[in-house]
Chain A
Amino acid sequence: MTNPGWVSLLSGGIPACNRKRTVSKAPPLLQIKNLRRLMIGPVSFDIAAGDCLCISGPSGSGKSQLLRSIADLDPHEGELWLAGESCEAIAPEKWRTAVGLLPPESHWWLPHVKDHFHDGLPVPLEHIGFSAAILEQPVIRLSSGEKQRLALMRLLSNRPRVLLLDEPTANLDPENVRLVEAVIREYHVAGVTAVIWVSHDREQIARVANRHLEVVAGRLQERDPAAVS
């Protein structure tokens, strides 16, 4: 299986609008240098706008901790850079808005769905299988699958520049897996964004990723994203 066109179109680098007139290259969208957290690290990698990087590894290998550290939600050693700006130089709430993490389980704290959303979605709700009426629903009536899909839309409404997805399609039926993958793709190709996607489904990795790293004993090893077995 080969990479789908939507990734290869963009994986070549920074879109024209971001290119500088000087010869110096623009910094990668996200740089991770010597990141270390519990059993993970030190790991270093760059990710460019347009990249969709999948991370796999056995459960308990620290994939979630890696994502939480990149979102600066857990204390960690090492450096994080977003478009040439150090994480420490950016207010934490701004960093987490720009580097948005979708945790495996969604949480809702206000009575209605719409209370959790900012105005204006980058991708229409219909594309993930809802009508606008869902916003009027009380959260308590949603199924766990509905919550999971809406949590993605809630995160996208922040318009993050880097999406960190922690098994976003676990516990979804095949039809909804397809919808979620399509919505992430739609958001990804529309803007100057990058995606880091934790998944253990090799077929999914082959469908969505242009890069694949596997967690082995706390380090990251490059894998072929298209290899299905």
Chain B
Amino acid sequence: MITLSLADLAIAALLVLLLGLVTLRFHAAITRLLLIAAVRTAIQLALVGLVLKALFANVHLAWVTLMALFMLLIAGREVMLRQERRFNGWRGFAVGTFSMFLSSFTVTVFALIVILGDSPWYTPQYAIPLLGMLLGNTMNGVAIAMDRLTNTAWEQRAVIEARLLLGERWDNAIADIRQQAIHSGMIPIINGMATAGVVSLPGMMTGQILAGAAPVEAVKYQILIMFLIAVGTGLGTLAAVIAGSRRLFDERQRLCLDRLRSK
């Protein structure tokens, strides 16, 4: 394995700077975003590297749990911020966060205990990267699905109410919109699985191969990860859409769009 020196990273950073100079001429605002994001990447990853190093040196369930909760809260905040119309009050944060907790955490713990079976099961070298990959993908699915759900319900409120007025139950009146939301939340991972290895080489597998792992071993891990991500994203999306759509109606099955607020 070729270790990277700081100078190697500096060269890559220079490329980003060059890109920033070019975009400056055409779209100055994007240059700013690009540079801020690049700096964030460097700082955040450096910090997480240090945290992981400390975590690997002190294997304890409490530290792993703390790290996992921190990641979950950040993901929950991100989901909330990505909503054009989110639920009022604590639910604006809780619906997405709880859906991710439900899916990512259960799938990660299941994989750690049943499939990987290391001792102890929470060995951070496996637990944290696994959870990170699951959370990152579930976050996308949940954020996209909830955004789609609330936005479409807002746009189609007249149709939903027309269906209620004709005697349909709330879950029937919003069934199409629910389906669209679930579809848009799950389609990225479905497409990802469909094109894996043919069009794209997934990042995790590429990383392992770069680090010197045997390709077949890397592939086996990648298949495992893809399946776990699919299950995590699917469950998270379903949970968010079910909880979110229920919250759009009151106990008399009236559409309550005043429970949403726009950005």
Contacts and interface: CB of A to CB of B under 8 A. Distances in A.
B158 A96 contact: no
Interface in A50-98: 71-75, 92-94, 96-97
A96 to B, nearest CB: 5
Contacts of A75: 250, 252, 254
Contacts of B165: 71, 73, 96, 100-101, 103, 155
A33 interface: no
Contact of B159 (A101, A107, A155): A107
Interface string A102-128: 010111010000000000000000000
Interface secondary structure of A, over-half rule:
loop
B167 interface: yes
Given A73-B254, A93-B253, A109 B166 contact: no
A56 B165 CA distance: 22
Contact of A73 (B159, B164, B168, B169): B164
A92 B166 contact: no
B253 A103 contact: no
A155 B162 CA distance: 10
B161 A93 contact: no
Among B164, B168, B169, B250: residue with most chain A CB under 10 A: B164
Interface in B145-177: 158-159, 161-169, 176
Interface in B236-263: 250, 252-254
Contact of A92 (B159, B176, B252): B252
B159 A96 contact: no
Contacts, number: 48
Given A73-B254, A75-B250, A93-B253, A107 B162 contact: yes
Interface string B31-67: 0000000000000000000000000000000000000
Contacts of B162: 103, 106-107, 109
A200 interface: no
A158 interface: yes
Contacts of B164: 73, 92-93, 96
Contacts of B166: 96-97, 100, 154-155, 158
Contact of A72 (B158, B159, B176, B254): B254
A72 B252 contact: yes
B254 A93 contact: no
Given A96-B167, A97-B167, A109 B159 contact: yes
A105 B161 CA distance: 11
Contacts of A106: 162
Contacts of A103: 161-162, 165
B71 to A, nearest CB: 40
Across chains A and B, which 5 residue pairs bring their CB atoms closest together, nearest first? A97-B167, A107-B162, A92-B253, A107-B159, A92-B252
Interface of A: 71-75, 92-94, 96-97, 100-101, 103, 105-107, 109, 154-155, 158
12 contacts: A71-B165, A73-B164, A75-B250, A92-B253, A96-B164, A100-B167, A103-B165, A109-B163, A109-B176, A154-B166, A155-B165, A155-B166
Given A74-B254, A97-B167, 15 more contacts: A73-B161, A75-B250, A92-B252, A94-B167, A96-B164, A96-B167, A97-B166, A100-B166, A101-B165, A103-B165, A107-B158, A107-B159, A109-B162, A109-B163, A155-B166
